[in-house]
Amino acid sequence: MRRNDLVTFSCDGWPMHGIVHIPQGETQRRIGVIIVQGNLNSSPKFGAHWMFRRMGDALADVGVYAFRYDDRGTSDSPGDCALSFRDRIADLCAASKFLRQQYRLDEVVFWGHCMGAAVVVHAAARLEWDEKPEGMVLCSLLAHAADVTLPDFGYGATSVSGLLRSSRAKTWLNKIRRLLTDDSYRRRASAWLRAVTAGHMRTNSGIKQLQADVGKVAGLLARYDRPMLLIFGEKDPFLVSFNKYVNAGDKLGLNRKVPPATIAVMHDGDHVFASRQQTKELIESTLEWLRRLCPSNTRTTSYAESTDGIFATPAAD
């Protein structure tokens, strides 16, 4: 029977809610993995198709403590705030300190997806030497500043000209005709335009700050001197950005690190590992890397996918 602890911790006075997947039995060293979600608009701590919950279950089944949490003011964490990227970095640092102390862990690994992976890289750089994660798993890493303007982050239309280009001509002809003949439509259109303009002015500075922070990920990645695993889907546009702009010709020196960074590209995979098979391969890649990182401290298991998630069974001898 699996056991999950519901826990609370705090950062900067904000209470936060989390779930810890507790492994059964003891290992030589107590290892924990903190799972950090990506874009908060679409991926709460359960993740698309429950990916993060399944990852937590699978980690616990091999003897690892797995921690999922909600950032300040999101989902089950109370409060109302304009959560920033830097807030998320602070929240992860607090989560890491809490998990180490509360469960007396010997090692902690950060696991992040998309923007969560960028948060992981920043948090690892911010923590003191004895608090840094012993390893990082970075899935669909957001590391190219220009990618912040993609629709995934709600910034697809950042200018009036962009809005105009995104509409078909025949649609605009119909709208112009209605503007000339329909008073109520003109009032609604005027209100809509004011809302769009105000929204652009409010978010523009936030986008620039986020782009600046994402632009620092590459340099922080180059300076990280502990093991890391990067996982991309073959069809993920972030893989193209990473290879073309962020690490072209291995300019970050990831292959020259000791040990070298492991980069896995999932055949036919997408950005969110959306199919059952992709999720299974993502989890297998994570577990295999952890076994190499801590060979004497993770139990060898296999697991089967069902409609209820992933359930571990003893591996055949």
- CATH number, domain with residue 42: 3.40.50.1820
271-297 pLDDT, tens digit each: 999 888 999 999 999 999 999 998 866
Instruction: Determine the residue type at 122.
Output: H
CA–CA dist 232, 228 (Å, integer): 13
CA–CA dist 226, 237 (Å, integer): 26
Q: Give the number of domains in the chain.
A: 2
Q: Are residues 125 and 164 in the same domain?
A: no
Mean pLDDT in residue range 130-140: 97
CA–CA dist 69, 52 (Å, integer): 10
Burial class (CB in 10 A: 0-12, 13-18, 19+), 222: middle
DSSP 33-89: EEEE-S-TTT--TT-GGGHHHHHHHHHHHTT-EEEEEPPTTSTTS-------HHHHH
* Full domain range(s) for residue 308: 3-140+216-314
Domain membership flag for residue 146: no
46-85 pLDDT, tens digit each: 877 789 999 999 999 999 999 999 999 998 999 998 899 9
Domain membership flag for residue 250: yes
Q: How many residues does the chain have?
A: 317
In this prediction, residue 233 carries a pLDDT of: 97
Mean pLDDT in residue range 89-97: 98
| Confidence category of residue 26, pLDDT binned at 50, 70, 90 | confident
Domain membership flag for residue 53: yes
Q: Are residues 53 and 136 in the same domain?
A: yes
pLDDT surpassing 90 at residue 151: no
CA angle 209, 213, 219 (to 5 degrees): 155
In this prediction, residue 205 carries a pLDDT of: 72
Domain membership flag for residue 257: yes
Q: Are residues 225 and 81 in the same domain?
A: yes
227-283 pLDDT, tens digit each: 999 999 999 999 999 999 999 999 999 999 999 999 999 999 999 998 889 999 999
| Confidence category of residue 133, pLDDT binned at 50, 70, 90 | very high
Domain membership flag for residue 152: no
pLDDT surpassing 60 at residue 305: no
Domain membership flag for residue 170: yes
